Structure 1
Amino acid sequence: MSASVYVTGAVCTPFGKFPERSVTAMVESVVDDVLADADCDPEDIGFVAVGNAIGSLMTGQAMIQGQLALADTPLAGAPVVNVENACASSSSALLLAINAVRSGSCDSALAIGVEKMTSPDRARAFEALAAGIDVTTHAHSGTPRASVFMSIYAQEARDYMAATGATAEAFAHAAAIARLHGSLNPRAQYRTTATPAEILDSRVIDDPLTLLMCSPIGDGAAAVLVSARPHRDAAIAVRAIALRSGRRAEGGELVRRTAAEAFAAAERRPADVDIVEVHDAASSSGLVALEELGVVEHGRAWRRALHDDFRFDGRLPVNTGGGLVSRGHPVGATGAAQIVELVDQLRGRAGGRQVRDARLAVAQNAGGAVTTVPYTSAVCSVTVLERD
């Protein structure tokens, strides 16, 4: 990156099912908290990007979600851009905020991700998520009772098993690690552990995926403040952020080429990474993403999951806040929440899940589907952070 950009504030609400909490209430909460975390005056924020994926489908409110949510905050009147980019909405918002600072148009910018997925109509979120694929070629009959993406991830898991010898037990071990991490994260939607056996015995969603291998429906918000100067107590530099769209029938190449761009811009190697956040909307997809990022050799992620390598105290800590499976997946907030977890780790404030001596961190966030067979995400973001 041509100009230095630092993360100076990073906060997240608890994730979970909160029928009484509105989008506005969640945004107001993270705005107050992130300004305090960064020790930043509201007047210093020159740009705000608000990521939200399915709000217009859930509530009917479109076009001006960010302006409405910020109307009663100290940031009312600031330049606001609303970003809808599937599950990568808030990582896309972060890209805009980083570019605003990098360009010199402002000294500080804010990215917010927020999603309200709970509804009295339990099928409504599944219907909204189904809009993340090409609806002109994938017509659905009736009301979906589960996310169409879990069927996509299940097919990806079956393909991965056939190609590498991976087992459902390995996916269960990955989910158990996520549950362990979530139990140590006060903001996680699920804060209880589960054994691999319990995970395998939970209800089958789409073979080989069981309920406890799949990310839940939930609500939440996260905010990341970036500045041209580091926080006085911690210099967390944005080494690179890359965002790319999927091509038809591209498969895992989208993650590979996005990661290659990010690592090249950061002048770092996958082997240098100390801690990783991946988009584990299903436990199997998180293992696939680790290999596509290049931080784990092809065909090895499932074996390493069996050996607990991805625990916070393991050889390569992965999704230390619980990931999408345990921290939760309010889709428009997930990308920003990944950054919050990495910043907490790099600043040494992750509590009982703290990774020792973490310095270089990477987040991979994806969303939507350009094609379902082979599965190609519509968008992928890879961000590289380093404790400077």
Structure 2
Amino acid sequence: MTGVTIPGVGMTNFRSELPYSIVEMASLAATRALDDAGYRASEVTSLHVGTALADSLGLQAGLGNALTSSLGIEGVAADRVENTSATGASALHRGVAAIQSGQSDVALVVGAEKMSVGETANVTEAISRVTHEREYAQGLTLPSFGGLAAGVYLDRYDVPRETLATVAAKNHANAADNPVAQFRKTISVADALESPVIADPLRLYDCCPMTDGAAAVLLTRETMNDVQILSVGSATGTHAVAERPDPLEIESVREAGERTFDDAGMTPDDMDVVCIHDAFTILELLELEELGFYQPGTAWQAVMEGETRRDGRLPVNPGGGLKARGHPLGATGLSQIIELVWQLRGDLPPNRQVPNASTAFAINVAGFGNNSVCTILEA
């Protein structure tokens, strides 16, 4: 038990382009979290802001400092967190530590990214720099790693290509009911199979989009009625993907998951709803297996049998995941937490709600498993 609870959450819509600056997006999400909790901005004692690309895309440096001014909370402790695509969950981890240590009584954690300001090639270039310097020099990208892993998985376990398309169709169906999601349209398995090739065997609908958006979570000491953070754990993995002994083993995911479950005194079987970092459809399968929800080479069968649908035995990414809710790097990990808070509080309409959910798990991953952050929540 961390002794930390979540009295309020808030986020912007996730869109391919929002008509706000990154500071305005962050401020809007933060204000919504404060309003949700019934707190005044003046009650915040620390601010933890996550953004991965603001500097490299020529936007706001010192986002935490700018946000204190926008919110009118000058004088609070503020910092900026960056952990590539796991930035949001790492910022949450920082906020939890601030509450646990007694350095803060009310921590506001905000993640934001405005990816639409850059050309696709420029954004891809910025994201590619998370890879090892040798791999970057050879032109390897995160989609290429995803394609390589997907090819090995399909071959090793004799998996039909339709499985990855089924993951995409499931997450689009979930996002279609989610008003904040970037892609609010359903697609068929055939649509996914016929979309353009990105990194064979991955196609367009196997890959997450570029997204603008912000998300915020308010943290405080343990109270009776708020969603509790039972544990948060993180781990790093082998930085150079080519040096990993098995392309299907993502050690940071496994280590972070084990630490988080052990700290909470729980197992994967105890979870009612899960948010997985599905930057590529293959990652949903690999992470479910590395985390112990399924044995190696079996998650694909669960997908094909409907177990991971919102009405299945283990609902995975009920808000649409990175694939369809969107993936503004600095905000993604927090948007996962917000989705799970909504589920655990029972805030959602019947077509969105996972029935009787009382425990939840999220994983936010940096790069292709270079770093992973896991969180367990309880109603």
- Residue correspondences, number: 371
Q: Secondary structure at the match of 2:283?
A: helix
Aligned to 2:65: 67
Could you list the per-position Cα deviations for residues 105-129 of structure 1 after superposition, in whole angstroms to 9, with x for gaps in the alignment?
2221111111111126332211111
Answering whether residue 370 of structure 2 is matched by residue 378 of structure 1, we say yes
- Alpha-carbon distance change, 99 to 111 in structure 1, aligned in 2, over 3 angstroms: same
Q: Report the Cα distance in structure 2 between the residues aligned to 1:105 and 1:66, rounded to whole angstroms.
A: 17
1:247 aligns with 2:245: no
Aligned to 1:20: 19
Hey, what's the Cα distance between the residues in 2 that align with 1:87 and 1:77? Answer: 29
TM-fit CA distance, 1:286: 1.0
* Partner Cα distance (2:287, 2:29) in 1: 29
Deviation at 1:21, TM superposition (A): 1.8
Per the TM alignment, residue 138 of structure 1 is displaced from its structure 2 partner at its CA by 2.4
Contact 1:177 / 1:308 at 8 angstroms: preserved in 2? Answer: no
Q: Distance in 1 between matches of 2:319 and 2:72?
A: 29
CA offsets, 1:136-166, max 9 Å, x none?
Answer: 552156xxxxx92111111111121222222
Deviation sequence 1:237-283 (CA, Å, 0-9, x none): 11100011113545422211110100000011111111000100011
Q: Which residue of 2 aligns with 1:185?
A: 178
Task: Identify which range, 128-137 or 151-160, moves more after superposition.
Answer: 128-137
CA RMSD, 1 decimal? 1.6
Separation in structure 1 between the aligned mates of residue 160 and residue 374 of structure 2, nearest angstrom: 27
> What is aligned with 1:280?
278
Cα distance in 2 between the residues matched to 1:73 and 1:43 = 9
CA distance in 2, matches of 1:355, 1:383: 18
- Unaligned ranges ≥5, structure 2: none
* 3-state DSSP of counterpart to 1:298: coil
Identical residues among aligned pairs (%): 35
Partner of 1:39: 38
Instruction: Tell me the residue number matched to 1:211.
Output: 204
TM-score, scaled to structure 2: 0.94
Q: Is the 8 A contact 1:114 1:330 kept in 2?
A: yes
2:326 and 2:333 mapped to 1: Cα distance?
12
Cα offset for 1:184? 0.6
Mapped to 2, the partners of 1:18 and 1:254 lie a distance apart of 32
Instruction: Determine the C-alpha separation between the residues in 2 that align with 1:169 and 1:77.
Output: 54
Match of 1:356 in 2: 355
1:161 aligns with 2:154: yes
Partner Cα distance (1:120, 1:247) in 2: 30
Deviation at 1:74, TM superposition (A): 3.2
Quick one: distance in 2 between partners of 1:253 and 1:244? 8
Among 311, 320, 323, which residue is 1:313 paired with?
311
Tell me the TM-score normalised to structure 1 length.
0.92
What SS class does the counterpart of residue 133 from structure 2 fall into? coil
Larger displacement relative to structure 2 (294-303 or 183-192): 294-303
Q: Give unpaired runs (5+ residues) of structure 1.
A: 142-146, 370-376
Q: Distance in 2 between the 1:229 and 1:44 partners? A: 16
